[in-house]
Structure 1
């Protein structure tokens, strides 16, 4: 592109500046300095220094841009800056090479082509044919009416056959005009300029024709051009109609200037009116596109609306011109190219047009892999040669795509094309080599799923088209070396062997992989798949062997999974659990109230009255007073008792101050112990699955760590199911023999009562101990009130305060108190009372 300074100069001066001075075609090494006006002044020296400094600065810039392009040959902006610097310096050889190098990588804009052609034309170093080729290359890349006009003017002025109006020259020029009309004659706002240039050329030919017959033919040719233009919706059609009427008048066909259509044929009038209607409909879209303040995104939306309207009209040529206008203004918008190529594939299907559009699309949007895929498919549809297909494929692989999957799509498209054309005589070695190149190029970055897709396709083609089973197995073996821990690789390999009827080889693969660890449930799946495979394809011995090998592996996997679940449960359990946790139902808990909950009910005892007796109230009050007298806090004492009860009770007897929401009657409950610590509720449920009738499972866990304690309560529907469960005593659960017995809460209560006396001893007082103990011991079982606890053996928990030993009791004190040395029987106590009465 020209620098801002060059754009302000006239075209001739700009060309001379590029040439380095006089523009006569010679290339000076340096522009001559103007002679100084006064030799006494040193202004000339400063001018020379300034020029030399500017030249040095430009040279430094050029060298810097060259280094950048060597490292980044696809940097578009660097190419543009490099060409500007060279154009300013006047180094035409480097400038020409720089433009060619940029055009190898990118299409040039119409303005760049105009600058290039004008520079070459002004130097007069290149032949007419070379400059003509430059114009031809330029008009092929983007639609530009201005560039077409420059091209037409250049040929008309510099082609001798055209300027001499020779028959070959006339034919060449008319073909070039028709080419220009086809490319841009339907451009609504600028297409009229091409029609006007065409008519002017034909009118100039008319002036030099002397033969009347030829002159009449030329007149008719011009008239047809007017008629063609008037039938197309273009801007300023009214002036074209007026010019046509004026021209007809010059030819001696009188008409009324005040009448719009006087002297115009009826068919031309009809076509003109239709074209006016079409233009009025499209004018709203054209006005939006002409607006210079519209952003690129808004312009894109306007183009898409316009294109959608033209597609609904059903004129492919008009749609194509509109797409060309859109990609010319927005060349790097991939959506436009995608829509353009898709429309051509479905509608026009012209090989030359398809090749041109796809070529330009992939040069503008090299990073869009889908365009390359469509390009290859389009070439295959139009039956392009293998050399052309290979060339496009190699270009695609050298591009930079956002993801590795897009490279895979390119390779698979190439393989698909080769596979479809294998019947045309292509060598299968081309397919094999393509797969090998793809694996080498993609494997370092390709994911397992994509790698599996590529290799599965490769192995399949080796079997079907290559008829080489050994090569197919080699494909899978190489895949196993890289992805042997992926279950799907083994499955596809085995499936290939089964499909080809090689059962023994498939069995060998199962034996190789059933012990491997796969992700998720893959390890279990491959074991089950092997057993199913032997059931369907193997002998009984084969089936037995598979079961013998797979069953231990499945059990091992089950144990490992259980351990992992326990670890997950351990890490996922929060530090604080809710009160209704099933694992805590049998554990003591705290409540702010001081009232103790009732003891666990026996199965054969009726519920007791909720109201305490007078004796109980008296005892509770006395106990409370004693605790206060001993200077011990009631809350601390109760907390201490709860901790002691939790440690001493293996059956989790609840003795906290909090009323539990649920109590278990244990009427049909099994007590399971010696459980493996990795077992959970689901394992226990499976253990009793053959018995059935399980309604609830309460696995006891540590209060703080939440780990299993190896104990559980299992509730059943009825005694029948419970008895069946008890018969599973000493059976193995996860390789460990468990004990199963009927749950008996009374045994747990007795053990708790027996071990609680020594821990609650400090809460008892010594007041009235001996007398009350003697009286209490002298009572028979029938005489003991129901609301008083029954003493059995040494268990004195919850006994009256006068019975238990008070604080400070010692063996020495016990011996000094003779009256309390030995408890009397009921008969002795009765005789003693009778004796006193007497």
Structure 2
């Protein structure tokens, strides 16, 4: 049989009329001398064009050297090189661009055709086949798949010669194409028809005397017809007519000119009716996403409406195909990529499929931190190697992100290392805690200057200290992390600690004058630190601590902010914050009544005073009463004393204790 019959995809429809190198005109060596003048004129013009192209090329090369991430400059640079037919530079330019960005389907088609026009031999075939593989991976394109199938059929010797290995290879490629785009409502039928034509061509190569082989091949073609008739596509009725005509050729009695289902098996007719109903329900949605006279935002919204409809139908394969169509139309829409990946994480849960989508998502939207974070998590769920995860993490740090996104990346990386180190199986693969410490240190070195006195810096170091203490069992290292945080934030200058630490009934009350960030640091220090922590002369004793701290805020704004944090979680712990308002106790009330010269006259006002605590900010006349007066800072009021009582000589002589005196007091306790 002839090659045209064996390669049914070779047609004007699959060729698109593109020339491999359109700017390499054929040379007519038989031109006459009479055309020499016109040739010289055209040669002068060509020289001017060449000089202009060289100037453009130099300008674009300078722009790419200064800013390699400029997508449009890459496109223009490749366009100029293609016009100049500089194939070596063109290859390098395309590879350089693809290192940073995915190429469009048309760019892959141009690349493959250029290489095919200039290269021959088996080595060239394998190189071009790899180009097609890279192209169909990045975006869903029916025309690119058709070009790929045509190229393999025409240039692979085993396929061209119809050897068993070649036929098997072609069938596998067709099945891959159907898996990727067979559910494409408006164009998927082109792949089905190409597959059928290939199998019908194989039938004609079988010896007429080999009835068994011919019957087996007939069943293959029939099966393809049945599969296509069960999938909603455009021109379904035309496909039905083709099927009936083919059956008539096989000797089956059917009315080939009728579009009804007479003579067709019940199963095939039932599947066809269902597919036709599905297509009718999607026809208007297909029209909306294919309209040309609309804005990109309107078209994207139409895609989202279509996606929600498919999701409600409950067929993940159809949803995924439509997502692929949408991102081909809107490749840099971060909203669309995030929606797509979240759907896959929730519904599909197939490791390699999801990681492939994430790898393409970060190529199209590299400046979206959430995509990088979820990419690393998907690799971990898929049991990817440490080398692969580390590579993705390093690439993410090269992108332009927000500080919060960088912090999330570092913490996600640490989370993954912690989980795998804690897992006995993963621990056998050589992961060590030093990787966690190195990641924390790199994060601190890079982010500390930008996150100074923020919750983010606290989260980072609190997590670091907790892992040093609980995972690595190194108390000294945990202490060192907190000391590093102190130095980074200059807390020794900001705390303005009054050193009025009181011990009463196993409770430590700390009075400091600090912003709200610092009281959160003190709280987290209590949660993750260990007994006897000492830092730069400020002593904390946690042997008997209940977790009570009295804090004097520097202004009312920080006080309001602190009270608003009541019952919220901090590093996994619930905070309990209340404004100081101690109530009057019975013993204090009795003692106060006995010390007054006129108890009967003063009982009523004292009873009212016992229900409140007065603290006039900015005034020296501070009054705190009640059973909880032990929580009163030393510089405000002596323990258990009232400002209305006369000051004794012993009280006047009492002075705030130094750091050494407090240390000795704690050690004696």
* Partner residue of 1:89 out of 80, 84, 95: 84
Matching residue of 2:240 = 241
Shift of 1:16: 4.7
**Counterpart-to-counterpart distance in 1, 2:421 and 2:229:** 53
Where 1:67 maps in the other structure, the secondary structure is helix
2:308 equivalent to 1:308: yes
Q: Deviations over 1:366-415 (max 9, x none)?
A: 011001111111111111111111011111111111x2111001000000
State the distance in 2 between where 1:681 and 1:350 align.
Answer: 62
1:729-769 deviations in whole A, cap 9, x for unaligned? 999xxx9xxxxxxxxxxxxxxxxxxxxxxxxxxxxxxxxxx
Distance 2:559 2:301 in 1: 55
| 1:278 alignment counterpart | 278
Partner of 1:749: none
Task: Tell me the CA shift for residue 447 of structure 1.
Answer: 4.0
Structure 2 CA distance for partners of 1:74 and 1:519, relative to 1, 3 Å: farther
When residues 439 and 254 of structure 1 are mapped into structure 2, their CA distance, relative to the original with a 3 A threshold, is: same
Cα displacement (A) at 1:17: 3.8
Alignment partners' CA distance in 2, 1:276 and 1:327:
27
- Distance (Å, rounded) in 2 between the aligned partners of 1:392 and 1:170: 38
Aligned residues of 1:79 and 1:98 also touching (Cα < 8 A): yes
Deviations, residues 22-53 of structure 1 (Å, cap 9, x unaligned): 49xxxxxxx999776266x5x54433221111
Q: Helix, strand or coil for the counterpart of 2:183?
A: coil
Tell me, what secondary structure is at the counterpart of 1:37? helix
**Aligned pair partner of 2:532 in 503, 507, 517:** 503
Q: CA deviation at 1:263?
A: 2.0
Question: Superposition pairs for residues 208-219 of structure 1, below 5 Å?
Answer: 208-210=205-207, 211-219=210-218
Q: Which residue of 1 aligns with 2:160?
A: 163
Matches within 5 A, 1:474-553: 474-483=480-489, 484=491, 485=494, 487=514, 488-489=517-518, 492=521, 496=525, 500-503=529-532, 505=534, 508-510=537-539, 519-520=554-555
Describe the SS at the equivalent of 1:367: coil
Question: For residue 372 of structure 2, what is the aligned residue in structure 1?
Answer: 372
Alignment of 1:181 with 2:187, yes or no, is no
Q: TM-score w.r.t. structure 1 length?
A: 0.58
Structure 2 partner of 1:73: 68
1:199-598 to 2 correspondence within 5 Å? 199-210=196-207, 211-256=210-255, 257-258=257-258, 260-401=260-401, 403-423=402-422, 424-425=426-427, 426-448=431-453, 449-483=455-489, 484=491, 485=494, 487=514, 488-489=517-518, 492=521, 496=525, 500-503=529-532, 505=534, 508-510=537-539, 519-520=554-555
Q: Distance in 2 between matches of 1:470 and 1:489?
A: 22
Change (3 A) 1:499 1:336: closer
Shift of 1:440: 1.2
Quote the Cα distance in structure 1 between the aligned partners of 2:533 and 2:397.
41
Alignment CA distance shift 1:728-1:338 (3 Å): closer
Residue 296 of structure 1 deviates from its aligned partner by 1.1
Q: Shift in Å at residue 90 of structure 1?
A: 0.6
Question: Distance between the aligned counterparts of 2:154 and 2:221, measured in 1?
Answer: 21
Change (3 A) 1:681 1:450: closer
SS of the aligned residue for 1:421 comes to helix
CA change 1:234–1:464 in 2 (3 A) is same
Please give the alpha-carbon distance, in whole angstroms, between the structure 2 residues aligned to 1:253 and 1:681: 101
Q: Give the number of the structure whose alpha-carbon radius of gyration is greater.
A: 1
Query: Structure 1: which 5+ residue stretches go unaligned?
Result: 1-9, 24-30, 526-678, 691-726, 736-838
Residues in 2 aligned to 1:311 and 1:497: alpha-carbon distance in whole angstroms: 49
CA contact 2:182–2:189 (8 Å) conserved in 1:
yes
The alpha-carbon distance between structure 1 residues 684 and 95, as it changes in their structure 2 partners (threshold 3 A), is closer
CA distance in 2, matches of 1:343, 1:278: 22
**Alpha-carbon contact 2:225-2:243 (below 8 Å) kept:** yes
| Cα shift at 1:357 | 0.5
The equivalent residue for 2:505 is none
TM-score by length of 2: 0.72
Unaligned runs of 5+ in 2: 1-14, 496-513, 542-548, 561-614, 627-643, 653-669
1:305-347 CA distance string (max 9 Å, x none): 1111111111111111011000011111111111111111122
SS in 1 for 2:345: helix
**Alpha-carbon deviation of 1:466?**
1.7
Partner Cα separation in structure 2 for residue 336 and residue 396 of structure 1: 20
CA distance in 2, matches of 1:494, 1:470: 19
Contact 1:161/1:169 (8 A) holds in 2 = yes
Report the equivalent of 1:544: none
Cα 1:439/1:522, change in 2 over 3 Å: farther
Deviations 1:709-728 (A, max 9, x none): xxxxxxxxxxxxxxxxxx99
Q: How much does 1:21 deviate? A: 4.3
**In the alignment, structure 1 residue 49 sits paired with structure 2 residue 44:** yes
1:822-837 map, 5 Å? none
Q: Does the CA-based 8 Å contact 1:185-1:191 persist in structure 2?
A: yes
Q: Which residue of 1 aligns with 2:572?
A: none
Change (3 A) 1:506 1:262: same
Question: Match of 2:68, SS?
Answer: coil
How far, CA to CA, are the matches of 1:521 and 1:466 in structure 2? 41
Query: What displacement does 1:68 show?
Result: 0.5
The 2-side partners of 1:170 and 1:184 are apart by: 21
Q: CA deviation at 1:175?
A: 0.5
Instruction: Identify if the C-alpha distance between structure 1 residues 44 and 519 changes in structure 2 by more than 3 Å, giving closer, same or farther.
Output: farther
CA distance, structure 2, for counterparts of residue 433 and residue 522 of structure 1? 38
Cα distance change, pair 467–127 in 1 and its aligned pair in 2 (3 A) = same
Q: How is 1:410-809 mapped onto 2 (pairs within 5 angstroms)?
A: 410-423=409-422, 424-425=426-427, 426-448=431-453, 449-483=455-489, 484=491, 485=494, 487=514, 488-489=517-518, 492=521, 496=525, 500-503=529-532, 505=534, 508-510=537-539, 519-520=554-555
**What is the distance in 1 between the residues matched to 2:141 and 2:415?**
38
Superposed CA offset, 1:91-118 (max 9, x none): 0100111001101100001111111111
Q: Give the distance between the partners of 1:32 and 1:85, measured in 2 at CA.
A: 27
- 1:753-799 CA-to-partner distances (Å, cap 9, x unmatched) read xxxxxxxxxxxxxxxxxxxxxxxxxxxxxxxxxxxxxxxxxxxxxxx
Tell me, what secondary structure is at the counterpart of 2:473?
Answer: coil
Q: CA deviation at 1:478?
A: 1.7
Equivalent-residue separation in structure 1 for 2:523 and 2:357 (angstroms): 46
Contact between 1:497 and 1:506, CA under 8 Å: does it hold in 2?
no
SS at match of 2:171: helix
Cα 1:465–1:521, aligned 2, differ >3 Å: closer, same or farther?
A: farther
Q: Matches of 2:559 and 2:346 in 1, distance apart?
A: 50
Equivalent in the alignment of 2:20: 15
Q: Report what 2:657 is aligned to.
A: none
The Cα shift of 1:687 comes to: 8.0
Mapping of residues 17-36 of structure 1, within 5 Å: 17-18=22-23, 20-22=24-26
Q: Distance in 2 between matches of 1:360 and 1:498?
A: 42
